[in-house]
Structure 1
């Protein structure tokens, strides 16, 4: 019973490059239990005092046991530049049964290997960032988050034809196949949208739907 409690909390972050460092720092700042593990002594020294960190090489199964990796509910493998190290560390975490393993990949091939050996979530940060920026620079979107299978949430300015009308009057979902889920008037908080919510020219919209439909909606003058 005590072990079950341990396994539900705490995040083990392995590798303190830009990706792992940002995750460890943010989780620590948000008040989560975090332990960072890094084999480079210079990085250990840099992060010491900022986040809980120890020096160890988790490609070694003995080191995995020594840092108590089994007690963490989540592990993040932020090692990306060395495919061999990434795979070995992820495999070691799978072997001891860490409930949730997030792993960074630097290519689609790398991602497939991590998935095959048992990583629960694989992240391609550079590819994801490139995809997001491509959508932002090519249109009128202010922010873009693809959730899964094309379902996307965006932040955007309202097309001119919707300005001054309620969402119900504009029939946005019927005409464009997307859903306005939130509206932020200037200087005010975001509010959940209803059919009676009136859209003004200076509002920000949070809109969900398939990426292709959202691009078309955002491209309206």
Structure 2
């Protein structure tokens, strides 16, 4: 079932950006923050925005937090408040709890508490930028696990007009092209006869080593 109602707790840079994006996708978003000025700034952007202390159980009960499909703990710099909020959200029966971690240790604590998804915005963005700097063809990078990665790679001019059969990433490198994003639209699960053109975007999945070998081929001679 698609999630429709979100509560974003902590409206700093990360929380406000996330909340705005959810609203732009047509979803209902309740923003919660201790700072009245911050809430006032977001009041006209979000579905609802309230001044509240998320570490107080009765406060969360009174706003009906358990009725939301997902609650996101985006508290910026107070690890204690983040952990206390996560505990209360789980105890109150929120269906899905997502929390921002400031450090690896903070993330481990959140995982132990049963948080459904722990995110590391600063760390993950640093990893993405590093990969993009090393390989200019790399548009996006998502680590699925310690071994597997999914990336978006821009097709260089030297591969213009090549079919996937000729490229044969599966046999040569072990990774798979699962989609091709063209100007005319996206091809999901492309066939061996599909042709790639310069500036198309290939979505590729494989192990880190497999994709690294494939990237080297793309930027090599």
Same fold by TM-score greater than 0.5: yes
- Which of 18, 31, 40 lines up with 1:23 in the alignment? 18
Q: Tell me how far apart the structure 1 counterparts of residues 191 and 99 of structure 2 sit (CA, whole Å).
A: 39
- Provide the secondary structure at the position in 1 that maps to 2:193: coil
Correspondence 1:97 to 2:93? yes
Match for residue 214 of structure 2 among 207, 212, 217: 217
Q: Quick check: 1:40 aligned with 2:35? A: yes
Question: Which residue of 81, 103, 110 corresponds with 1:114?
Answer: 110
Taking structure 1 as reference, are residues 171 and 161 closer, same or farther at Cα in structure 2, changes over 3 Å only?
farther
Partner residue, 1:66: 62
- What's the CA shift string for 1:153-194, capped at 9, x where partnerless? 222234677544321133221011111122344x43232321
Given the alignment of the two structures, is residue 147 of structure 1 paired with residue 141 of structure 2, yes or no? no
1:189 aligns with 2:192: no
Distance 1:38 1:178 in 2: 44
Unaligned runs of 5+ in 2: none
**Separation in 2 of the partners of 1:141 and 1:44?**
37
**How far did 1:200 drift?**
3.1
Is the Cα–Cα contact under 8 Å of residues 157 and 197 in structure 2 kept in the other structure?
Answer: no
Residue 13 (1) aligns with residue 8 (2)? yes
Deviations 1:72-129 (Å, cap 9, x if unpaired)?
1211000030001001111111111111100001100000111112211110110111
1:50 aligns with 2:55: no
Alignment of 1:199 with 2:196, yes or no, is yes
Between the aligned partners of 1:99 and 1:201, the Cα distance in structure 2 is 44
The offset of 1:142, in angstroms, is: 2.1
Report the aligned-residue RMSD: 2.0
Residue in 2 that maps onto 1:177: 174
Q: Which runs of 5+ in 1 are unaligned?
A: none
| Worse overlay, 197-206 or 39-48 | 197-206
Shift in Å at residue 215 of structure 1? 1.7
- CA–CA separation in structure 1 for the residues paired with 2:55 and 2:195: 57
Q: Distance in 2 between matches of 1:24 and 1:184?
A: 27
- Normalising by structure 2, report the TM-score: 0.89
**Higher mean C-alpha displacement, 26-35 vs 39-48:** 26-35
| Whole-angstrom distance in 2 between the partners of 1:101 and 1:95 | 11
